[in-house]
């Protein structure tokens, strides 16, 4: 739900896609594929564009920062395109402002978290000649596309190991390998409706490229009554145009708020490509668009504008310092102090979180102590987690005390010489901190961090700007990494020594290295680096089990920094997966997040809010993580 010009956040879809394991996973709280909701979802803003001769209040428009490469729902992995698809094609369900599951195309239910029943809503219609949507369409899509060896859909990993069976004309069941009480919250079972008849020729020929380039899929010509608008035109570099769908199926739904009875309320919709933030703000000011993201330093000026109101929308992406615990990190001298928990705690205690939020984010952010935002149902009790960087846990005295605890753990003679932290040769500790070039807020944050680490820990931190793509490719990831030997069945037969390390007294093998966790700490990226604020990460508050990709032991899917948990993270994740009640699930996850707060695998700083401006009179936007769930019912008041 990030709404910046050039988002620094790495969403789950983005890095899975980079690994060739992409899944059609929405950013938690958004209503479409990777956004789908209006006003503040993805890199978009909403407005009252200029479709034909219609008046401004008759057109609902979204201004995208960039064009999209595909609108094929089977292959799209971009948030902006997900917003465009959502105008004409609903996904299976959303979550409302109370965090409650809301069925759109289908309802889901389970007794044990292992067998899930999907009840398809009756009255769903594809465009001619495909007829009614039934359970068989979804089952065919899953079995023949998502679970195939040839189609390589973005949902493929979501359905691995899931047994799917049609149990009625409007019902099918999915049996999971391991029970998951929070399966809907993971967004893995989210599906688009695709006609079986449309897919069959490509399935018979195993024609991947043909499926990717099918015009009916690319232009959503099959969407029938399945979305609030009908796609009229996709200009490949200029955006999309839609007309009102008078047959929208949710108008007849009796399980949704009355506002849906006449949805959608606009005669047309548009997605316009407007690349510059200044241009989007100008369009908001003149009334050309209805919504745009407002930079924190400009919020107050817009709040004094009678034509615009500003919403503060919490979101799950964090601002934190990534510290490189691999062998090409801690470039200042021998050893790597980042590997010591007390040293990471010292860094967290040295940075004034409240000062950072006030000075950089203009108070539009929340303090970040563990890997969940406060609105999560699994946020630990405040008294159960350390709160480094505020109150008595902030400042030079506490930070230096923790650093000295870390020095005592190290085999190297790091110490303080007066106010200065020095290496074994007596030289001041010198480290680099990277931020994305062109990101003003990020640069301000990096400068603030460098000043605090200098004042409170006596470190010399050099702030360096870098292109985000270059940092990702050369510093953050490693694509040339060792791999285990396998047999013809793909079973691992030998793991080379460089993919083996001793962690907490036990031997750990990296049998499935990835670009974002290419092996133990001795396997490194091409370029050395110390610290970074280039990427923020999703904390997945709806389904925190998803965080196993970051923290389940030393060799999870995503671990560029080389973090080895000092507690039994694998067992806590397993206990959460095996939970049969919400209470058991919460107990395991809260213990997990209490441990992460102690260990600071990343130096956690803040959760910035999205600040979004809307034209006065637009009804629907809420100051809630689920903003946009009811986008089809947004309207202007009388």
CATH of the domain at 577: 3.10.105.10
Q: Are residues 165 and 220 in the same domain?
A: yes
> Has residue 47 been placed in a domain?
no
> What span, in angstroms and rounded, lies between the C-alpha atoms of 198 and 144?
12
Per the domain annotation, does 11 fall within a domain?
A: no
**Cα 29 to Cα 79: distance, rounded to the nearest angstrom:** 13
Question: Does 336 share its domain with 192?
Answer: no
Q: What is the pLDDT of residue 55?
A: 62
Is 292 within the bounds of a domain? yes
Same domain, 526 and 405: yes
What is the structure's pLDDT at 157?
81
Mean per-residue pLDDT, 385-403: 98
CB-side neighbour CA atoms (13 Å) of 585: 18
Q: What does pLDDT average to over the chain? A: 88
Average pLDDT over residues 436-458: 94
Model pLDDT for residues 415-424, shown as the tens digit of each residue:
999 999 999 9
pLDDT of res. 572: 96
Query: Which range of residues forms the domain containing residue 398?
Result: 317-486+494-610
Percent of the chain scoring above 70 in pLDDT = 91
Across 76-85, 182-191, 228-237, 452-461, least confident range: 76-85
- What is the C-alpha separation between 529 and 472, in angstroms, rounded? 12
- Count CB-CB contacts under 10 A for residue 18: 18
- One domain for residues 396 and 533: yes
Beta strands in 282-371 (DSSP E): 291-293, 308-313, 319-323, 365-367
Query: Which residue, chain included where needed, has tokens 């149990």?
Result: 167
116 and 243 both lie in a single domain: yes
Tell me: pLDDT of 175 over 70. yes
Residues 625 and 534 reside in one and the same domain: no
Q: Is the peptide bond before 102 cis (omega within 30 degrees of 0)?
A: no
Pick from 336-340, 576-580, 589-593: least confident: 576-580
Q: Are 32 and 86 contacting, i.e. CB atoms less than 8 angstroms apart?
A: yes
Phi and psi at residue 528, to the nearest 5°: -75, 150
At 56 the pLDDT is 63
Question: Do residue 351 and residue 286 come from a single domain?
Answer: no
What total number of domains does the chain contain? 2
583 and 620 in a single domain? The answer is no
Task: Establish if 377 belongs to a structural domain.
Answer: yes
Task: Please tell me whether residues 385 and 460 are part of one structural domain.
Answer: yes
DSSP 48: -
**Cis peptide bond upstream of 504, omega within 30:** no
For residue 598, being part of any structural domain is answered with yes
Q: How far, in Å, are 26, 74, 217, 567 from residue 155 at the CA level?
A: 11, 8, 16, 32
Q: Are residues 330 and 372 in the same domain?
A: yes
- List the end-to-end C-alpha distance of the chain, in Å, as a whole number: 29
DSSP type of residue 627: T
Instruction: Region of 245 please: left (phi>0), alpha (psi -120 to 50) or beta.
Output: beta
Residue 569 to residue 216: CA distance in whole angstroms: 46
User: 330: alpha, beta or left, given left = phi > 0 and alpha = psi -120 to 50?
Assistant: left
**Which of 605 and 9 is assigned the larger pLDDT?**
605
Q: Is residue 312 part of a domain?
A: no
Nearest to 408 by CA among 357, 349, 346: 346
Report if residue 3 sits inside a domain.
no
- Per-residue pLDDT at 326 exceeds 80: yes
Residue among 2, 162, 13 nearest 75 (CA): 13
Query: What DSSP assignment string belongs to 389-454?
Result: TSGGG-SHHHHHHHHHHHHHHSSS--EEETTEEE-TTSPBPEEEEEEETT-HHHHHHHHHHHHHHH
SS3 76: coil
What's the CATH code of the domain at 121? 3.40.190.10
506-554, pLDDT tens digit by residue?
Answer: 999 999 898 899 999 999 999 999 999 998 899 999 889 989 999 999 9
Exposure of 24 in the CB half-sphere (CA atoms within 13 A): 28
Percent of the residues in the chain that have a pLDDT greater than 90, as a whole number: 72
**Tokens standing for residue 523:** 């396997």
Report the distance separating Cα 542 and Cα 630, nearest Å: 18
**What's the rounded mean pLDDT across residues 285-309?**
87
Residue 580, pLDDT score: 83
Confidence of residue 439 (pLDDT cuts 50, 70, 90): confident
With 80 as the cut, is the pLDDT of residue 638 above it? no
Indicate if 108 and 252 belong to the same structural domain: yes
Q: What is the pLDDT of residues 272-292, one digit of tens each?
A: 887 788 888 888 888 888 888
Q: What pLDDT is stored for residue 12 in this prediction?
A: 34
Cα–Cα dist 391/377, whole Å: 25
d(CA 603, CA 594): 14
Alpha carbon distance 75, 153 (integer Å)? 6
Check whether 314 has a pLDDT greater than 60. yes
pLDDT tens, position by position, 6-58: 333 333 333 333 222 222 222 222 223 333 333 333 333 333 445 556 766 79
Q: Is residue 123 part of a domain?
A: yes
If asked whether residues 392 and 372 sit together in one domain, one would say: yes
Q: For residue 585, is pLDDT > 80?
A: yes
Residue 637 is given by DSSP the state: -
């Amino acid at each position: 739900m990030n709404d910046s010009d050039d988002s620094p956040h790495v969403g789950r879809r983005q890095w899975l896609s980079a690994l060739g394991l992409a899944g059609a996973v929405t950013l938690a709280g958004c209503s479409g594929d990777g956004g789908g909701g209006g006003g503040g979802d993805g890199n978009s803003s909403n407005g009252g564009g200029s479709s034909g001769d219609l008046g401004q209040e008759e057109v609902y428009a979204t201004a995208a920062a960039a064009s999209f490469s595909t609108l094929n729902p089977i292959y799209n992995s971009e948030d902006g395109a997900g917003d465009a698809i959502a105008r004409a094609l609903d996904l299976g369900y959303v979550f409302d402002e109370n965090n409650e599951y809301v069925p759109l195309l289908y309802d889901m239910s389970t007794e044990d978290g292992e067998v899930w029943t999907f009840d398809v809503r009756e009255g769903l219609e594809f465009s001619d000649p495909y007829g009614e949507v039934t359970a068989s369409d979804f089952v065919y899509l899953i079995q023949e596309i998502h679970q195939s060896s040839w189609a390589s859909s973005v949902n493929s990993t979501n359905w691995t190991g899931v047994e799917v069976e049609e149990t009625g004309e409007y019902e099918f069941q999915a049996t999971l390998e391991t029970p998951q009480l929070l399966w809907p919250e993971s967004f893995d079972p989210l599906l688009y409706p695709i006609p079986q008849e449309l897919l069959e020729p490509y399935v018979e020929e195993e024609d991947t490229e043909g499926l990717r380039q099918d015009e009916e899929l690319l232009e959503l010509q099959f969407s029938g009554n399945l979305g609030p608008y009908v796609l009229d035109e996709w200009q490949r570099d200029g955006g999309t145009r839609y007309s009102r769908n008078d047959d929208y199926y949710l108008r007849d739904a009796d399980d949704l708020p009355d506002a849906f009875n006449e949805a959608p309320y606009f005669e047309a919709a548009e997605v316009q490509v407007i690349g510059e933030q200044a241009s989007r703000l100008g369009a908001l000011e003149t009334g050309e668009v209805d919504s745009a993201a407002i930079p924190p330093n400009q919020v107050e000026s817009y709040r004094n504008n009678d034509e615009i109101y500003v919403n503060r929308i919490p979101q799950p992406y964090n601002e934190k310092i990534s510290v490189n615990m691999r062998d090409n990190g801690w470039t200042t001298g021998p050893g790597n102090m980042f590997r010591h928990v007390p040293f990471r705690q010292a860094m967290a205690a040295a940075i004034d979180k409240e000062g950072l939020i006030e000075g950089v984010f203009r108070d539009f952010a929340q303090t970040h102590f563990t890997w969940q935002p406060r609105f999560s149902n699994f946020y630990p009790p405040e008294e159960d987690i350390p709160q480094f960087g505020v109150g008595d846990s902030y400042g030079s005295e506490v930070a230096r005390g923790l650093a000295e605890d870390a020095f005592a753990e190290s085999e190297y003679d790091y110490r303080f010489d007066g106010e200065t932290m020095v290496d074994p040769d007596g030289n001041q500790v010198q480290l680099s901190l990277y931020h994305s070039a062109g990101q003003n807020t990020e640069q301000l944050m990096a400068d603030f961090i460098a000043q605090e680490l200098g004042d409170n820990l006596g470190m010399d931190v050099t702030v360096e700007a870098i292109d985000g793509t270059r940092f990702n490719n050369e510093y953050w990831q490693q694509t040339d990494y060792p791999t285990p030997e396998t047999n013809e069945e793909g079973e691992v037969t030998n793991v080379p020594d460089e993919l083996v390390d001793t962690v907490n007294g036990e031997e750990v093998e990296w049998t499935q290295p990835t670009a974002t966790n290419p092996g133990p700490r001795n396997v490194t990226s091409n370029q050395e680096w110390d610290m970074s604020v280039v990427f923020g990460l999703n904390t997945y508050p709806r389904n925190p089990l998803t965080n196993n990709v970051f923290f389940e032991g030393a060799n999870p899917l995503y671990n560029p920094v080389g973090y080895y948990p000092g507690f039994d993270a694998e067992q806590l994740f397993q206990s959460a997966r095996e939970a049969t009640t919400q209470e058991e699930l919460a107990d395991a996850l809260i213990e997990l997040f209490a441990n992460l707060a102690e260990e600071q695998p990343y130096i956690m700083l803040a959760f910035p809010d999205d600040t979004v401006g809307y034209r006065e009179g637009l009804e629907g936007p809420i100051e809630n993580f689920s903003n946009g769930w009811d986008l089809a019912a947004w309207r202007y008041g009388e």
